[in-house]
Structure 1
């Protein structure tokens, strides 16, 4: 039995016996996140295709895909942006566990609303999911960080295992919600199946919540019933605002950038007010790494939009194209144990890349992944215009290796660099970076897939070439500036 201090509480908390080398509560959070990600990736696998066919089907093919890609980008951006507010609410008011239960319930309701075949109600359903996700997503990740002392060598591996839970759910979801349910009964019933998965995750979390001991408890349990009602009322009030933003997808990017600017000023001012020069430097380093996250996700996150359309129209495969949505999470399941094993071994030999260098490697790997696609498309354009499914899978695998160098490491990084009282807010900012990257990715996808079936290959090749050059350029830049960022981190690795 190991003991540690919560990162945001100076008092020790009871710890269950470790299981497979990690705190037992990690495995409950793993399972809960599995079902939440099943819900999210189940509907995401269908979203762009369903929107293009159902609501923009009367438009020319390229325009329908472009509009669907913008809707997809705005939705996936907002799904992460609201994490900032959810993290703040959990930090200061509601507690992490109540926030997760309330957020998950709201998300399930939104998924069921997607069954209504009307664009207005569909956007309302998306808005409800966005609001609920804001309470759920950052807080379950923050609770993982609470299971380890700040310098516990198992922390990065623990986050990588948690990341496997995310991707186990994401691997199963396209098969169940898309290939089995969506293809044979209609995509709207795929959304319904995703909602059932969300409910199952909530039931599991509540049934085994005793495993968590004091982790994530409500700060004032006696006041929490009224606080839950107040937060629920606030969520209802926010839904029309999110609906408006989804209806005007092009303004989302400006709003997200403005929010990121406010947070940047906040963290720098907080570090300065604290009088702790080390904390100020760490916040500057954190913000620089946030930039890398935005750049990476803006290039990487084509899977649910342009790569989905690309697979549907141009790839020869012996299976339904929706199964390509399982490629990225499947490779994470296969490769995450390798990376979780690798980092401590490299650390023991003093060869473990620092966090900034891992982020640089991630950018370069995603550039290599898209370069693979560009070369493959070039060969296809000389022939029948069809791509072998193995080449798309290869690109997904390379991109996934980049993701494993950044995303689980970044989750751990935030819990180490942020001040204890601002960990939830910092985690929300981390997901805001994902939001901005998703919005950029949606805009890029609208260009990549906007040429229609006839001229699509050339359009994909040109867009993916730009992505590759951006990845190589920014990756090399972060490699060069890694020593400076390391210095600002003051020993955090």
Structure 2
């Protein structure tokens, strides 16, 4: 009998929901003010870097946290297992944030490096466990990922508002420490809720060979060569999703760089007489996911066999990203029309709302698709490969932010919109071929 103990889903989903919520509290809380801290004057406690230097640090940090998951997935699949990988990764992440709280440039770089390593162990494996809570063919899986994604965004909202306020209104380093406290809380409830994960861990452990011995590399090579034609086609579909997800993230992840600087320098932050921290505008994104994720989770289940396929949802996601940046073109023109001109924050609010509809059509759907398409013996490794789309997207977003001070903002926003809209059109044309590669997986 199916486990329906948590809102109609397996009880283990609650453990992973809150673990990921607190991990994302730490990540997005710190990311929300990272580029602002890097470019703030030394007199105000910042590092005093120029925009290009600050954007470069932001680019390499935010992209690297998505590069290491492929190694973390391999380590889990072949050595540690998913549960221990998440636990060790969370401990390293917490240490990284507490290291950032120390007021020295070497500890700043060391803290970022620790978070990169820890995220590599945690991120692919917690997603793999979510997928393994469900039996193959369980129609609740996409809805489960949408609920899981809501937990991510609850954490992001709390992190951006609390850590962002502490950083910008009190002290940058207190904001870093708050992120570390959040990760620690996540680890505590993860350990307490381990028993709820037993069915998922059993499913993940079944196809994994025990490590050890001089034949380890040979075993891995045989495993990789042993895929059937159907499995190879499904892996190819994952790589298609990877490419188009990278373009989406290249636009979306500018929330923490290009759009964060736009909010800080060109947006009127006076709301009802209170000057809000510029990082708070990023909280619109998680608020909309919190509001819309249950709606879409219900919709996918309600539609049943009429539910759009995963590649069709990807096309919608890219279309939304393109429309969001197209909307910002006139905002950029107004902001740079004269000295001291500030635009309404509603421009960014509207763009973020449109982007979030796109994100919900792409990100949780992509995570779910990977767990369904990847052969069970390399599911964490393939999850790591899919997360490389975030790595590439963050590189693109950080690279784009480097043009913030040298290119008219209207032209910058228009270029991003054009890339997303063209990608959406191509993805729409590829829906049928990709569905063919996916076989009977929707």
TM-score, normalised with respect to structure 2: 0.90
CA distance in 1, matches of 2:295, 2:428: 23
Q: Is the 8 A contact 1:294 1:434 kept in 2?
A: yes
What is the match of residue 470 of structure 1?
A: 419
Q: For 1:382 and 1:82, locate their aligned partners in 2 and report how far apart those are by CA, in whole Å.
A: 42
The equivalent residue for 1:406 is: 362
SS in 2 for 1:388: coil
**TM-aligned CA deviation for residue 282 of structure 1:** 1.1
Q: Aligned runs of 1:450-461 on 2, under 5 Å?
A: 450-451=405-406, 459-461=408-410
* Alignment partner, residue 167 of structure 2: 182
State the secondary structure of the residue aligned to 2:402: helix
Offset of residue 58 of structure 1: 12
Is residue 430 of structure 1 aligned with residue 382 of structure 2?
A: no
Cα-to-partner distance string for 1:312-336 (whole Å, 9 max, x where unaligned)? 1111131221211211111110111
1:336 paired to 2:293: yes
Q: Is the 2:242–2:388 contact (alpha carbons within 8 Å) kept by the matching residues of 1?
A: no
Matches within 5 A, 1:54-69: 64-69=50-55
Tell me how far 1:70 sits from its aligned partner: 1.3
Are the counterparts in 2 of residues 94 and 219 from structure 1 also a CA contact under 8 Å? no
Residue segments in structure 1 that go unaligned for 5+ positions in a row: 3-15, 228-265, 452-457
SS in 1 for 2:40: helix
Partner of residue 132 from structure 1, selected from 115, 118, 122: 118
SS of residue in 2 equivalent to 1:213: helix
Query: In the TM superposition, what is the alpha-carbon distance from 1:132 to its structure 2 partner?
Result: 0.9
Please give the residue correspondences for 1:6-405 in structure 2 after superposition, counting only pairs within 5 Å.
18-53=5-40, 64-179=50-165, 181-216=166-201, 273-274=225-226, 276-317=228-269, 318=271, 319-348=276-305, 350=306, 352-382=307-337, 385-405=341-361
Deviation at 1:19, TM superposition (A): 2.2
SS of the aligned residue for 1:216 comes to helix
Contact preservation (8 Å) 1:87, 1:138: yes
Deviation at 1:54? 5.6
Preserved CA contact (<8 Å) 2:133 2:199 = no
* Kept after mapping to 1: 8 A contact 2:331/2:410: no
* CA–CA separation in structure 2 for the residues paired with 1:112 and 1:275: 44
- Range with greater deviation from structure 2 (22-31 or 373-382): 373-382
Report the alpha carbon displacement of residue 74 of structure 1 after superposing the two structures with TM: 0.6
Distance 1:129 1:357 in 2: 34
CA shift, 1:393, in A, is: 0.2
> Relative to structure 2, which stretch is displaced further, 92-101 or 420-429?
92-101
Please give the secondary structure, in 2, of the residue aligned with 1:353.
coil
Change (3 A) 1:219 1:346: closer
- Listed one character per residue, the Cα deviations across residues 182-206 of structure 1 (whole Å, up to 9, x for unaligned) are 1332111100010011011101111
CA distance in 1, matches of 2:43, 2:369: 41
Moved more, 413-422 or 280-289: 280-289
Check conservation: 2:250, 2:397, Cα contact below 8 A: yes
Report the alpha carbon displacement of residue 52 of structure 1 after superposing the two structures with TM.
1.4
